[in-house]
Amino acid sequence: MNKKTLKDIDVSGKRVLVRVDLNVPQDEEGAITDDTRIRAVLPTIGYLIDKKAKLILCSHLGRPGGKVLDKLRLAPVAKQLSELLAIPVQTAKDCVGPEVEEAVGRLKEGDVLLLENLRFHPEEESNDPDFAQTLAQLADIYVNDAFGTAHRSHASTVGIAAYIPAVAGFLMEKELDIMGRALDEPVRPFAAIIGGAKISDKIGVLEHILERVDSLLIGGGLGATFLKALKHDVGRSPIEENKLDLAQWLVEKAAEKGVHLLLPTDVVVAERFDAGARSKIVSVTAVPSGWYVMDIGPRTTELFEAKLRKSKTIIWNGPVGVFEFDKFSKGTSAIANLLAGLDVTTIIGGGSTAEVVEEMGLADRMSHVSTGGGASLKFLEGKTLPGVAVLLDKES
């Protein structure tokens, strides 16, 4: 990574504004149900505390649409963060304004202040320059440690860097380094597993990754579009008719480049798109009319596993079946369990795939689980992330 990080800048005694991604899931009562994203930024926060910085954290939570919603306040996050850090985390009633400025002015070296939800202000998402400047005036240095929002051109991810020195936090550095090395300098053989619902969501990833991998394994809903493009009947499975030519082109391109493209050979089909629907395993040449493709079958799982066992670098983005329904989660679970047991580089590309390995308790057994869904997709597409582009370069 050619961007400056915390270690390239003197933070001692400085007011440091850190953009973190504390957009964590909560239950009906507001209790946090998964604190993975909070734990992910602890190294950066801990480093700044040790360096006696005056630490100001800012984040969004949910989608309040520029309005103040009590259920999306960050107080529960501050409480959880206090417990993890074992020190008090102060809170502010807003993220800008005189009261916030006073709270920042009272900070002592090593103190931590969490500002209120940035998205209570519509100016955050519109990247309003005045709002960005107001945020910048709270601090001497800006640190972006929110990889999950780095693909957004918001005031707190992009606009603020125009006013104060901007560097990467440790989580941001880790995300960019690990995924960057995998894409640009992989230990081969290099395999990618791409799943999910729609091929349109993964066009950029598929095109970019075909230039780099040795093997490409396709499953999930987008697999049905590939099968349809190869003239297989996929019943009532949702497919993207306007992407059939693209799927055919990707198959041909893989062959031209010598990439081993693995598509399902057998699938689990269901009479209805329902968790309790009657189901059976069939060949991809024998999907019953009116049924839905819900998961990869056991023969396909074996083929995928054989290929993955021979790989040294593996990137996985998107479940290969309807993982939300236990009955149709076997293919995805089998791949997750296999990757967890391999002594190779395994990178989980955020979003629903990260949720799968977290839910299965396997996250710690992967080389890296990305904290960014949309950001990971953009990165795997080879796109420049706006929140990264604005950070200071190493030679700057």
Q: How far apart are CA 217 and CA 98, in angstroms?
A: 54
* Pick from 99, 97, 159: nearest CA to 132: 159
Q: In which element (H, E) is residue 207 found?
A: helix 203-210
Whether 73 is catalytic is no
Question: Which three-class secondary structure string do you get for 307-343?
Answer: HHHCCCEEEEECCCCCCCCHHHCHHHHHHHHHHHHCC
Cα 231 from chain centroid (whole Å):
34
* Pick from 221, 191, 224, 237: nearest CA to 335: 191
Whether 14 is catalytic is no
Whether 198 is catalytic is yes
Long-range contacts of 358-363 (CB under 8 A, 24+ apart): 358/34, 358/36, 360/333, 360/336, 362/336, 362/337, 363/36
Q: How far apart are CA 376 and CA 316, in angstroms?
A: 11
What 3-state class would DSSP assign to 171? helix
Whether the bond between 288 and the residue before it is cis, its omega within 30 degrees of 0, is no
Q: Annotated catalytic residue: which of 198, 236, 272, 299?
A: 198
350 φ/ψ sector (left φ>0, alpha ψ -120 to 50, else beta): left
Q: Annotated catalytic residue: which of 351, 372, 373, 387?
A: 351
Total Cβ atoms within 10 A of residue 205: 23
Answer yes or no: are the C-beta atoms of 73 and 6 closer than 8 Å: no
Q: Annotated catalytic residue: which of 62, 110, 204, 374?
A: 374
Block residue for tokens 């049905």 = 224
Q: Annotated catalytic residue: which of 3, 37, 73, 212?
A: 37
Which residues participate in catalysis according to the annotation? 37, 198, 351, 374
